[in-house]
Amino acid sequence: MNLKNKEFLNFFIIGGILFFSALILGILSGERVRKTSALQGIEIYPLSLPQFIFHFALASLFIFLLIRFLKSKKVKGKLYKFLFVLISFFAGMIFFEIWFPEPIPLFLISLLLFWWIKKPSVFNQNLLMIFGIVGISIILGLQMKPEVIVLLLILLSIYDFIAVYKTKHMVKMAQEMIEQRVIFGLIVPSDVFGFKESLAKIAPGGKFLILGGGDVAFPLLFSVSLLSKGIFASLIVVFFALFGLLANFYLLLRQTPRKPIPALPLIASFSIGGYLLFAFLMR
């Protein structure tokens, strides 16, 4: 096996493990919340598609305006870092509160954030992202019906395509965040030693791949929403989403040079395919 093929295989294995681990952790956490809520008689109120789209559109508009009109890289970098810390703190608290009693969640997330601020690395970056993605996805996933999320995945896949290939604001934002060492996504190294590397060494097209947070969060949302139909349904979607991720890696790694691609369309397509297979088997 030559060096290039070994690197490709490492990306497939490490990226697949990170993605799969996040989704499995999310399903286990979501099932724990669902069962605890049922035992305590806590009602989980549904979230409609228009409500989600409204808040998502506001966030997207904020990002677009930030990129378009805020010219100072120093100010923009500080704002990115503030948002990362803020989101990581509250989303991480949600995750840790599922598994630990107070005050352990506050201690754990504070320790992780202090570590990231003092010495940001691929490893602590990925830990914060996984815990944050799981925390947010559980809350939203349990509030939404699978059929609503199918429609949402289709709409967001179209948005992802436009944001990468047409307006390109997603690509520009990712480049700016990499420069500022604030990355809202999972960083996939080409070997296990890459986990200890500083965020300062992350560069587009180098020995790292970046998987956007939404590319992990939205299939997890879908999987968590299916827990009401049984954990088997959620697991089918997880495995199909994993194949969608690996298909993205294959297309990305074939490029010379590598250029950003929208990952959600393939992940969403495979996830929906897994859901349709489950629906067919349960007929």
pLDDT band at 45; cut points 50, 70, 90: low
- Using the predicted structure, report yes or no on whether residue 205 has a pLDDT greater than 70: no
- Using the predicted structure, report yes or no on whether residue 104 has a pLDDT greater than 50: yes
pTM, entire model: 0.88
**CA geometry: angle at 268 spanning 209 and 43, to 5°?**
110
Choice among 5-14, 222-231, 263-272 with the minimum mean pLDDT: 5-14
Question: What does the alpha-carbon distance between residue 106 and residue 89 come to, in Å, rounded to a whole number?
Answer: 9
**Span 160-182, average pLDDT:** 79
% of the chain exceeding 90 in pLDDT? 43
- Using the predicted structure, report yes or no on whether residue 258 has a pLDDT greater than 90: no
Question: What does the alpha-carbon distance between residue 209 and residue 11 come to, in Å, rounded to a whole number?
Answer: 8
- Using the predicted structure, report yes or no on whether residue 103 has a pLDDT greater than 50: yes
pLDDT band at 44; cut points 50, 70, 90: low
The 8-class DSSP code of residue 162 comes to I
Dmax over CA atoms of the chain, in Å, equals: 58
- Using the predicted structure, report yes or no on whether residue 124 has a pLDDT greater than 50: yes
Question: What does the alpha-carbon distance between residue 218 and residue 159 come to, in Å, rounded to a whole number?
Answer: 13
**Span 254-262, average pLDDT:** 78
What is the predicted pLDDT for the residue at 218?
92
Instruction: Indicate the burial class of 189 (C-beta count within 10 angstroms; 0-12, 13-18, 19 or more).
Output: buried
Pair 122, 201: CB distance under 8 Å: no
- Using the predicted structure, report yes or no on whether residue 1 has a pLDDT greater than 60: no
What is the predicted pLDDT for the residue at 53?
73
Looking at every residue in the chain, the average pLDDT score rounds to: 85
More confident residue, 239 or 252: 239
